Amino acid sequence: MKKTVLTLSLVAAATMSAFAADDPVATRKALMQANGGAAGVAAGLMKGDIEYNPAVGKNAITALYAVSQTFGDYFPDGSDMAADTKASSKIWEDAAGWQAELDKFASASAAAVEASGRSGPADLDAFKAAVGPVLGSCRSCHEGYQTR
């Protein structure tokens, strides 16, 4: 059931991204919704609110990884002026710092995918070790590059 909900959420987010391809703000919002859903599942697993299952853990990690591979592509010059964005102007003012955050997210996500193997992390401790750095990179980026 939970796997189905996660899968459906990711499909919906991907569909929204496909339709929003001409609107970078809408696309990055859709990607962050997918990312937030995956992070929510990861947090639920880590806290014990969701019973650990390797396939669910793998799906959450894979979703985080997928977002990490494209998210940075949707911040063209001028998109900071959109009326409904939480993106801080610091993204465009500190391009090197922003890129470092994107690289950290991509690297941590790739490492999590690698650590999770084909079937997902074997147990909750392995999942925490794999996904913890990814969620840490999310937190770091939000603290520095998202308006409140």
Predicted confidence (pLDDT) at residue 96 exceeds the cutoff of 70 = yes
Mean pLDDT in residue range 72-101: 91
Question: pTM (2 decimals)?
Answer: 0.84
Distance CA 10, CA 105 (A): 19
Mean pLDDT in residue range 76-84: 84
Write out pLDDT tens, residues 8-47.
465 555 555 555 558 999 999 999 999 999 999 999 999 9
Domains held by the chain: number: 1
Range of the domain at 25: 2-145
Q: Domain containing 30 — which CATH number?
A: 1.20.120.10
Q: Which helix (H) or strand (E) holds 6?
A: helix 2-19
Mean pLDDT in residue range 64-88: 90
Position 75 scores a pLDDT of 94
Q: What is the DSSP letter of 122?
A: S
Position 18 scores a pLDDT of 53
Distance CA 32, CA 71 (A): 8
3-state secondary structure 76-119: CCCHHHCCCCCECCHHHHCHHHHHHHHHHHHHHHHHHHHHHCCC
> 77-90: string of b/e by CB count within 10 Å (b at 16+)?
eebbeeeebebbee
pLDDT over 90 for what percent of the chain? 76
Position 79 scores a pLDDT of 87
